[in-house]
Amino acid sequence: MHRYFIEMAYNGSHYHGWQIQPNAITVQEVISDALYKALGQNVNVVGAGRTDTGVHASYFVAHFDLEEEIEDVPHILHRLNRILRNDVVVYSLFEVNEELHSRFSAISRTYHYYLKTEKTPFFNDISYRPTFKLDMDKMNEAARTLFNYTDFTSFSKLHTDTKTNNCKVVQAEWIKNGDVWVFVIKADRFLRNMVRAIVGTLLEVGKGKLSVQEFEQVIKAKSRAEAGTSVPPQALFLVDVEYPKDAFDSIDKKPPFRVD
């Protein structure tokens, strides 16, 4: 059995997330279909995680298994990108050890959420413009409290099939670049809707509706009803999936991964 990893990116505007579902087009579906056309056989594509409807990934990882080795990887990669629509691209395709899993071997994921503080006729499909003034210092103070907790039930979509709502957040901060504010959050795993719910609640802090202490109380409540409204999905990007440093040691040609 040969296991292959693919590095890819997609604009999620026209997709109902990554995960295949009935009566809705998803990224997993179009990738599976493209691989079938390129390889001449059905494969089960497993992603590094799920993204919700309308959410983008500037960096995503998936894997699939084949009985036989791919003889001409560059040719298959070229065919894939000719088959795929312009809103999905595969950057690389390479073989890995069978034990390596795109989802379960990953040690962290990083998301960015983009705010535009000034009105613009551009980028509205990949950013969110709040109509109120925000206090970034207060939002960053509240964001730092995320490091003190592991149970993020308050920021999870209800009635999911996950076994635990525990996550370890290792980075959470707002970064300003002109009229673009970016919320950067990195954790070992994320719950469904977690980032958008956190951002929505931090905006409540930023506009003075919640204090930093009240933000912490939201976390402690372990109730989605206590948190703020989720922000729109179009401004959210999965930007990195990280694996252990030694994950690719046995591969002759190292993939263009960032495995800091």
Name the amino acid, one letter, at 259.
V
Strands (E), 130-254: 169-177, 180-187, 236-242
| CA–CA separation, 56 and 237 (whole Å) | 5
Q: Check: CB of residue 92 under 8 Å from CB of residue 9.
A: no
Count the neighbouring beta carbons within 10 Å of the beta carbon of residue 50.
Answer: 17
Q: Which of 52, 179, 240, 249 is catalytic?
A: 52
Q: Say whether 65 is catalytic.
A: no
Known catalytic residues are 52
